[in-house]
Structure 1
Amino acid sequence: MNDQLLGPALVEEATKKSGLIWVRGTGPARALWHVWHDGAAHVVGDGPGEQPLPGLTAGSTAEVTVRSKDKGGRLVAWTADVTELAPGSEEWDAAVAELKGKRLNAHDGEAMPERWARECRVVRLTPRDVITDLPDGSLAAVPLPTAVTTRRPVPAALPRLLLKRRKR
């Protein structure tokens, strides 16, 4: 097969099937939920209650790593051109229609697109180059700082209680 055709096909199929992609803009890589639409990955964020999109600015590039949905290992990595979609444009409306269907646990339901237009950014990650020389070793890094913490250890009896419920 022609490698020029195989690379883009691998990027598209792997990204479509993966629930998360790891995106590195100018800062550390972050796991982002996305949808594949019209030949590119689309993400929404930077608003209240949405995922952060640091380092993803219009006109820049980002490195995207796609993981296996089953095993969690790296499948493919690619360089993306970053474009911010303007609210109300045809591209924005089409991307948001796809994103809306994949957004889980939204508190505002049908009003979500209006909130995204006011408070969030929708970013298009268009594949440019497939990175074929993936590293052999682990890319594990220290977790990013977060305000979310576990305050106490899990009670000792909790695992037994949860297992009893499943057996019934």
Structure 2
Amino acid sequence: MLVEEATKKSSLIWVRGSGPDRALWHVWHEGAALLVGDGPGEQPLPGLADGAVAEVTVRSKDKGGRLVAWTAAVAELAPHSEGWETAVAELKGKRLNAPDAEVMTERWARECRVLRLTPRDTITDLPDSSLAAAPLPTSATTRQPLPASLGRLLLKRKSKAN
């Protein structure tokens, strides 16, 4: 019950397969967490293979602290199977900022994987440490340096307003 309630309310779960922990968006449906990824424009799902076991940590939506951790059986759903269609219908409603919303499910069938993480056991011996780690390498960037002329433009606006 705690696993289901906490996972439903959290927008992200931390999942560790055979690789590093990853924060992943998900949808809770019919007793499992559903994930889509490993395709262009979607979240990476490294180390999560069909038949494997993953460790899931759920955080508090308001405080961000660890609420519960559980092990999960990983199952990859075959495209256009009954389970896949059900999962995709749920995931499609929660996928934000999709560049191709009208053909997204066809793209998922061609290029992505849809996974079902079914809880097995709750992990009760949570570590005392924070488990903080350095961020994973990424090609994503933050702001570029401000243009040199921006300061003059902002000062000009302030003087005109006065």
Of 29, 32, 35, which residue of structure 2 is paired with 1:40?
A: 32
* Superposed displacement of residue 151, structure 1: 5.4
CA distance in 1, matches of 2:117, 2:33: 5
Task: Note the residue ranges of structure 2 that are not aligned, 5 or more in a row.
Answer: 155-162
RMSD: 1.7
Name the count of aligned residue pairs: 150
TM-score (ref. length: structure 1)? 0.85
Determine the structure 2 residue equivalent to 1:5.
none
Determine the structure 2 residue equivalent to 1:62.
54
Q: Deviations over 1:46-79 (max 9, x none)?
A: 0000000000000100000000111110000000
CA distance in 2, matches of 1:46, 1:154: 34
In the alignment, does 2:92 pair up with 1:88? no
Matches for 1:54-133 after TM superposition, within 5 Å: 54-133=46-125
Matches for 1:130-145 after TM superposition, within 5 Å: 130-145=122-137
* Superposed displacement of residue 110, structure 1: 2.2
Amino acid at match of 2:113: R
Q: Secondary structure at the match of 1:140?
A: coil
CA distance in 2, matches of 1:114, 1:133: 42
Task: Note the residue ranges of structure 1 that are not aligned, 5 or more in a row.
Answer: 1-8, 161-168
**How high is the sequence identity, in percent, across the aligned residues?**
79
